[in-house]
Amino acid sequence: MGENIGAAARAMWNFGLDRMRVVNPRDGWPNERAEAMAASATHVLETADLFDTTREATADLSVVYATTARPRDLTKRVLTPEAAAAEMRTLIAAGDKVGVLFGRERTGLENEDIERATAIITVPVNPAFASLNLAQCALLMGYEWLKAADQTPPEQLDPGRSGFANRGDVDHLLDFMEKELEDSGFFWPADKKASMIVTLRNLYHRLPLTAADLRMVWGATKSLAAKRRSTRR
């Protein structure tokens, strides 16, 4: 989204309707350079609405957010992209028309633009490097918009067809390992044996072992045990 509006003087993304509004484009519109950078998202440019002023571009919107990191003399709420995205989804669900205003690549938004906004969106970054380019700002807003309604679990692990090993089978393996290690003299000194066993069992129980993993460890452990016995004869 950000690359697509790089040639615009100012741009508005109409969230909910998934449509871009371009205000007074610097290099004319349509713009070949913007199309070249749009890759497979040229439909965004092809459906863009053109306006001469920010006032005209925001006239039918009930809520407008302005993206800026510069201190302003205007008193407005300042939201993070995450908070703004969540608020926008609530507003749109209630029937409001919402837009996010992005500024020029080089100078950002002017006060004349920002005074029309309901609230300001500022990314919480290092204050010494607070300014983001247009593409970064648009990317962050698009990501937070998607994330606000995304149901992807924060962590996933697919055990495959074998499924995860159950605790009882893991304990059976550990009982065998403990006996073999005892016979081989591994638990030394004797007063450390109990803590060594706890550490060994903790190691295996905290692993998300699959049934296939367990069979592999079983096979390797039995092979080593058999080799040890054969060398003692």
What percent of the chain shows pLDDT beyond 90? 58
Q: How far apart are CA 22 and CA 143, in angstroms?
A: 21
* pLDDT tens figures, 142-171: 999 999 999 999 899 999 999 999 999 999
pLDDT category at 66 given cuts 50, 70, 90 is very high
Per-residue pLDDT of 165-221, as tens digits, reads: 999 999 999 999 999 999 999 999 999 999 999 999 999 999 999 999 999 999 999
Instruction: State whether 138 and 177 are in the same domain.
Output: no
CA–CA gap between residue 215 and residue 221 (Å, rounded) = 10
Tell which phi-psi region holds residue 13, choosing left (phi > 0), alpha (psi between -120 and 50) or beta: beta
Write the pLDDT tens digit of every residue in 3-21.
334 334 456 666 665 678 8
Tokens describing residue 114: 């920002």
Each residue's pLDDT tens digit, 96-122 = 999 999 987 777 888 889 999 999 999
> What sections of 8-48 are H helices per DSSP?
32-38, 42-46
User: Quick one: 171 and 122 in the same domain?
Assistant: no
Residue 157 lies in a domain: no
Q: Is residue 154 in some structural domain?
A: no
Q: How far apart are CA 125 and CA 132, in angstroms?
A: 9
Q: Which two tokens stand for residue 179?
A: 């006996």
For 201-229, the DSSP string reads: HHHHHTS--BHHHHHHHHHHHHHHHHHHH
57 and 129 together in one domain: yes
Token duo for residue 1: 């989204």
Are 94 and 135 in the same domain? yes
Q: Report which of residues 71 and 20 the model is more confident about.
A: 20
If asked whether residues 143 and 171 sit together in one domain, one would say no
* Within a domain: 162: no
- From residue 18, alpha-carbon distances to 37, 142, 207 in Å are 19, 10, 44
Answer whether 99's CB lies under 8 Å from 49's CB: no
Confirm whether pTM is higher than 0.75: no
Residues 132 and 224 in one domain: no
Q: Give the mean pLDDT of the chain.
A: 87
Total number of domains in the chain: 2
* Token digits of residue 31: 């713009």
- Is pLDDT of 71 > 90? no
User: In terms of domains, do 116 and 207 share one?
Assistant: no
Residue 140 lies in a domain: yes
List the CATH number of the domain containing 51.
Answer: 3.40.1280.10
* Mean pLDDT of the region 65-86: 89
Asked, for residue 112, whether it belongs to a domain, the answer is yes
Which domain range does residue 173 map to? 167-232
130 falls within a domain: yes
Dig out the tokens for 29 from the structure.
């519109």
Cα gap 116→101, rounded to integer Å: 10
Which residue, 94, 112, 147, sits at the end of a domain? 147
> Are residues 137 and 45 part of one domain?
yes
Flag whether 212 is in a domain. yes
Which of 113, 147, 181 represents a domain boundary (last residue)?
147
User: Same domain for 143 and 175?
Assistant: no
Structure tokens at 72: 């302003």
Distance separating alpha carbons of residues 216 and 2, to the nearest angstrom: 49
On whether residue 56 sits in a domain, the answer given is: yes
User: Are residues 130 and 68 part of one domain?
Assistant: yes
Q: Are residues 60 and 117 in the same domain?
A: yes
Name the 3-class secondary structure at 51.
strand
Domain shared by 131 and 185, yes or no: no
Q: What is the mean pLDDT of residues 129-149?
A: 88
